[in-house]
A and B are shown apart, each in its own frame.
Chain A
Amino acid sequence: GESVGLHLPTLSVQEGDNSIINCAYSNSASDYFIWYKQESGKGPQFIIDIRSNMDKRQGQRVTVLLNKTVKHLSLQIAATQPGDSAVYFCAENSGNTPLVFGKGTRLSVIA
């Protein structure tokens, strides 16, 4: 079946450095992608989204890159802060299909 997965389960970065979280997806029909942040004991929090007609989108300190050729999605966090420590999920869908989430990457920020 279709799946969304992540390359690395954990990522540790020094405070102030940039973080890059990667995600691979297998459904070539996927045309909408979202990154979520989930802190302990909380529900997923929307960070940024991107549609398949784009290859880059920027938000506040975050950038999402989409490479449809290799079905790869990444989330870049600039100047990572301790408050960025969380589990990050990518999710995708196409048309009216429900969101499919990956397993998540835990980001740990070292002060």
Chain B
Amino acid sequence: DAGVTQSPTHLIKTRGQHVTLRCSPISGHKSVSWYQQVLGQGPQFIFQYYEKEERGRGNFPDRFSARQFPNYSSELNVNALLLGDSALYLCASSFDPPRVEAFFGQGTRLTVV
């Protein structure tokens, strides 16, 4: 069984551009959460989606948005990129609305220059 898969693995963008990151959850998992991990810090919660509905949102500006598709995959979009958006973006999936973020993807390393 494939784990949580994210694409792309690495990405370089210029300030002001937008970016779309993708996540495919483990088969059967209906909940997807997104986290931002700045170098040297722990992951910080951005969004949680369950059954295609937003169930939670962290303290991030409106430049960050996400959605979940009927097949439970998800996209994270970031507009008007800032240098400070450079981070590892992690996706986690679980079957129920998570108490347990047991399964993380390998992340997408975003560098904004």
Residue numbers of A with Cβ under 8 A of B are: 4, 32, 34, 36, 41-46, 49, 89, 91, 93, 96-104
Interface residues of B in 50-105 (CB under 8 A from A): 55-56, 58, 90, 92, 97-105
9 A-B pairs in the complex with CB atoms less than 8 angstroms apart: A43-B4, A43-B105, A43-B106, A96-B99, A97-B56, A99-B98, A100-B45, A103-B41, A103-B42
- Pick from A42, A91, A100: contact of B106, CB below 8 A: A42
Note all chain B residues with C-beta closer than 8 A to A96: 55-56, 97, 99
Do residues A43 and B41 form an inter-chain contact, with CB atoms below 8 A?
no
Do residues B99 and A98 form an inter-chain contact, with CB atoms below 8 A?
no
Note all chain B residues with C-beta closer than 8 A to A93: 99
Considering only CB atoms, which chain A residue lies closest to B41 in the complex? Answer: A103
Do residues A103 and B40 form an inter-chain contact, with CB atoms below 8 A?
yes
Task: Work out how many contacts link A and B, with CB atoms closer than 8 A.
Answer: 56
Interface of B, secondary structure class, is loop
- Pick from B58, B90, B102, B106: contact of A98, CB below 8 A: B58
User: B107: CB under 8 A from chain A?
Assistant: yes
Do residues B107 and A98 form an inter-chain contact, with CB atoms below 8 A?
no
The 8 closest A-B pairs by CB, nearest first: A101-B42, A43-B104, A98-B45, A46-B102, A44-B104, A101-B43, A89-B42, A43-B106
Cα-based distance from A97 to B48 in the complex (angstroms): 10
Do residues A99 and B101 form an inter-chain contact, with CB atoms below 8 A?
yes
Cα-based distance from A98 to B34 in the complex (angstroms): 10
Cα-based distance from A97 to B58 in the complex (angstroms): 10
Cα-based distance from A44 to B37 in the complex (angstroms): 11
